[in-house]
Structure formats: C-alpha cells, structure tokens
Amino acid sequence: MEDKEFGCRVALVTGAAGGIGSAVVRALAERGTTVAAVDKDPRRLTGLVEELAEDGLKAVAFPADVTDSVLVEEIVDRTENELGAVDLLVNAAGVIRSGSMLGMSDVDWRAVFSVNLDGVFHCSRAVAARMRERRAGTIVTISSNAARIPRMQMGAYGASKAAATLYTKSLGLELAEHGIRCNVVSPGSTETDMLRSLWSAENDRQVTIDGSPAAYRTGIPLRRIAEPQDIADAVLFLASDRARHITMQDLCVDGGAILGV
C-alpha cells in the first residue's frame, strides 16, 4: 500500500539483489517509492525486479559494479534522467572475505575494501553532489556491528565497515548545512547468503546464537538471528520524516550481540 511520505520518492539501492538489499528494495517499493535497483549480478537483479512485478510492485534494474566510479556516475545520471531526482541512497552493496590478518592476501583485502568502502564513496559522492544542489536528500549506509568490535578472522571486513561508517558520518557533517542527512545501520548476524557462507558445520547457526568463548565472541542476547526485514525497517525509519532531526548516527541492529558497544 502506497505511503504518502515514500510514494513520491525516488530511491537508489546498491547491492539490491542481496539479502538485505532486496529487503530494502521491496520495503520501499511496497510503499510506492520508485526504486533504482543496482547490483553487479544481472541475473539475480532481473529476478528480483520480475518477482516484484508479479506482486504489482515496481523497481528498475540497473546492473553495475559499484567499484567502477565512472559507471556509477553513468548509473546515477540514468536514474535521474529516467526516474527522477534521487531522494534516497541506500548503500547496501557489500562483500566479505574471512581470514587471519597475517594470512589475508592482497587480492582479498582489496576485494573487501573496493566494495565496502570504495563503493560507498563512489555512490555517495555521485548522489550527494546532486542532492546538494537541491538542498534535500537522505543517505543510509549499511555497515556492520563488526565495525565496532574486533572479531577473529574478520579483520578486513570489520576495518572496511568501520571506514565506511566514519566516511558516512563525515559526509553527514559536510552536508548538514544543505539539509541532507547521512546515517548508518549496522546489522549483526542476519539471515543472508553472506552469513551462511561463513558456516561450515551443522551447529554453526546455534554457535552464532550462543557465542564462542574460544573466539572471544559473545552470543545474541535476544536469542535469534535477524531477518533482512529487521534491517530494512531500520533503514525505513532513518529515511523517514520521523528521523528528520537525526544525522551522523549509527543504529546497531544486532539483538544485543556486541552488548551495546
């Protein structure tokens, strides 16, 4: 059902074919927002758009790799020319490479940072420059609770997300005088392909909930793994007028996993 607030907006969502990204796209489309869905996987992206169409919802597929700054500029231009001025950017594209800090290869390190940090920079820069001219707009970056606390085998991922978090807050400071808000949502363990890719044993789901003292990792106090919709709801709040006086904030949605750090 169309929402009066969201129904007149245009949103650009990166990582749109992923677990969290697709939930954000659907949540916005259900409220009547015109969504430019960006992802480097054209097959999954087309599948998402077709699935939404079957439900009477509309999103337009824009296959693109956010690590390519030239292509990002082209996609933002196309979005604004074909759909209208972008009111909301959601940086949801992300990748993970696990491994020890001493064993991490240059290739894996760069792969993580090129998407999780460079991609956020490329998309935010392209969209924010246009928002600044209009003196309106909202940016939400999907980070991670791993940006707030050291985790075994996740140093590259956590570092990239920490950098993306601070970049988004710094951008929010620079854009505040132009009426543009920039916030962060930091999920914990969420039911996505990315999380499942880290599991190798039958009991890994329960270990995620219970925690692992050997890895210096607490469990999840709320005793559940988040659904992508939980993260999408946080994005919707920060993108809404109910959050009109909130900027440069990091909303952690992790069931208490990092104990409020």
Any idea which residues carry the catalytic annotation? 157
Q: Pairing mode, if any, of strands 250-253 and 137-142?
A: unpaired
- Which residues is 99 bridged to in the sheet? 154
Contact 32, 3 (CB under 8 A): yes
3-state secondary structure the chain: CCCCCCCCCEEEEECCCCHHHHHHHHHHHHCCCEEEEEECCHHHHHHHHHHHHHCCCCEEEEECCCCCHHHHHHHHHHHHHHCCCCCEEEECCCCCCCECCCCCCHHHHHHHHHHHHHHHHHHHHHHHHHHHHHCCEEEEEECCHHHCCCCCCEHHHHHHHHHHHHHHHHHHHHHHHHCEEEEEEEECCECCHHHHCCCCCCCHHHHHHHEEHHHCEECCCCCCCECHHHHHHHHHHHHCHHHCCCCCCEEEECCCCCCCC
Q: Pairing mode, if any, of strands 34-39 and 88-91?
A: unpaired
Contact 2, 52 (CB under 8 A): no
- Which residues is 138 bridged to in the sheet? 88, 181
